[in-house]
Structure 1
């Protein structure tokens, strides 16, 4: 995952469905009621093919609320620049200066998110200020997941997710036929302009073995439960960070960069139990029982408390996968 070439404001300004109604508040909310905004929220939008978002709010009910936010449009876990809670309405966003097109004058745009609490959910809207084209969204509290990788989980029967011959068992992330992918020389290959694809089968706790090969300067990812991306990136020899190969994208940095040069086959051995993830990258353990706080920008499935598929990213450069094996873990 990385930032896309099209700016967030430019990409969204002309694409949102119109219309949003909020339920009326029953009198001015108290500070205690404002505290109900605190916590982590998994978000779905009204746009049919949109990815999931994630929001964390702290210090609601005080003069200094703060928050963090993830959307697919920027890709990163961003600290919120501007945030307020007034009369029962959460309002946050960013101010951006950008050139809409090469050579165009600099334009200042405000990206505005608002929400109210309705029956325990966030009912909200997003728009580029002045566009009058809001995108509706709904946030539910992220679930508490009690499973931990405590050594008590038993391995089930391994399942081959790719048969080496065709794309049986895989669909585009929106459930349609995959675009931009093919099977070549026993490998599942994306041209670099393919959609993200996901298994039709869904899983909860598991071990996952994946072999992959990148073209030079390419970028991809494996999304666990179709929510949590382990980054794939051509960054051989660079210092590790939260966007490096082997990272839980924008959330957990690997302890080292274990990448091989582009065009060589590489391996991930990943273990996911509850919110704890362990990543072994080309035989080196780079994340050990790291705690996943929430969704990453590759997430298409916001229902964190349910099993999810294994997704592969296909729109950031040529990439191939082979030998994709999952082993369910159970008590």
Structure 2
């Protein structure tokens, strides 16, 4: 008798489980039919993002190439006219005393890639006198270029700093003579029709692939002496500073954002 009861229980239990599933299944079906739970409600199909090709070692397909190692037509001297720097071996190198250069085109919000190299001859040079140059966004806001490899100086003036405003998060500098890279995201300041500041400039910088400026808010244009401040301006050229040092540049491109 006990064996038969056990056999019946073994038969009935799966039947009850199956019956329970039949009761639950319609509830799931009803939940799936709820329009508020339709996964398509959160799918966005348009507009379709543009395709940008990124060939290894080359600028993205939608970038404006500012210097490819040979052509300097995108640049002019600080006071206008021919670029006074030396172009050779895929790089343009500062001629001390020649003044800086700027792009002929004006920019606001951009993604910028710049490769640079400081001289190997460091004898007798230290601090701000060793491999000094600078990349000025909109001609007013300086991202410092400096040989900061075993070269102490004030922290908000070393490589990767927003000069005299924001020190880098880390020192990612390579040795003199080695090529280095900045990858920059720049958000230009905005001004009201009356000239008031509505949003400050912001910058993110990777130095040799390492984050050194993380959405840094600028207090104004670069000043050597005194506090930075804003004055209304429009889009403006990029400017590379000449600072009595044979710093070299190559592979410069920009994407307008």
TM-score, length of structure 2 as denominator length = 0.62
Residue 62 of structure 2: aligned partner = 157
Residue 206 of structure 1: aligned partner = 110
1:304 and 1:265 map into 2 onto residues whose CA distance is: 36
The 1:176–1:304 alpha-carbon spacing in structure 2 relative to 1, beyond 3 Å, is farther
Give secondary structure in 2 for the equivalent of 1:286.
strand
1:304 and 1:284 map into 2 onto residues whose CA distance is: 32
TM-score, length of structure 1 as denominator length = 0.49
1:187 and 1:244 map into 2 onto residues whose CA distance is: 23
Confirm whether residue 183 of structure 1 aligns to residue 90 of structure 2.
no
Structure with greater strand percent: 1
Residue 258 of structure 1: aligned partner = 172
1:277 to 203, 220, 228: 203
Give secondary structure in 2 for the equivalent of 1:183.
strand
Residue 134 of structure 1: aligned partner = none
Residue 247 of structure 1: aligned partner = 161
Residue 314 of structure 1: aligned partner = 242
Confirm whether residue 227 of structure 1 aligns to residue 140 of structure 2.
yes
Cα displacement string for residues 176-214 of structure 1 (whole angstroms, at most 9, x for unaligned residues)? 3333x0211111111233211000001100010000001
Unaligned residue ranges in structure 1 (runs of 5+): 1-153
1:242 and 1:254 map into 2 onto residues whose CA distance is: 7
- CA displacement at 1:297 relative to structure 2: 3.9
Higher Cα Rg, which structure: 2
Cα displacement string for residues 6-28 of structure 1 (whole angstroms, at most 9, x for unaligned residues)? xxxxxxxxxxxxxxxxxxxxxxx
1:289 to 215, 228, 250: 215
Moved more, 188-197 or 170-179: 170-179
- Larger RCO: 1 or 2 (CA < 8 Å, sep 6+): 2
- CA displacement at 1:236 relative to structure 2: 0.9
Unaligned residue ranges in structure 2 (runs of 5+): 1-49, 53-60, 123-129, 189-200, 225-229
Structure 1 contact 237–257 (Cα < 8 Å) conserved: no
1:237 and 1:315 map into 2 onto residues whose CA distance is: 20
State the superposition RMSD in angstroms: 2.3
1:318 and 1:290 map into 2 onto residues whose CA distance is: 29
2:104 and 2:219 map into 1 onto residues whose CA distance is: 25
Residue 54 of structure 1: aligned partner = none
- CA displacement at 1:303 relative to structure 2: 6.5
Structure with greater helix percent: 2
Aligned length: 173
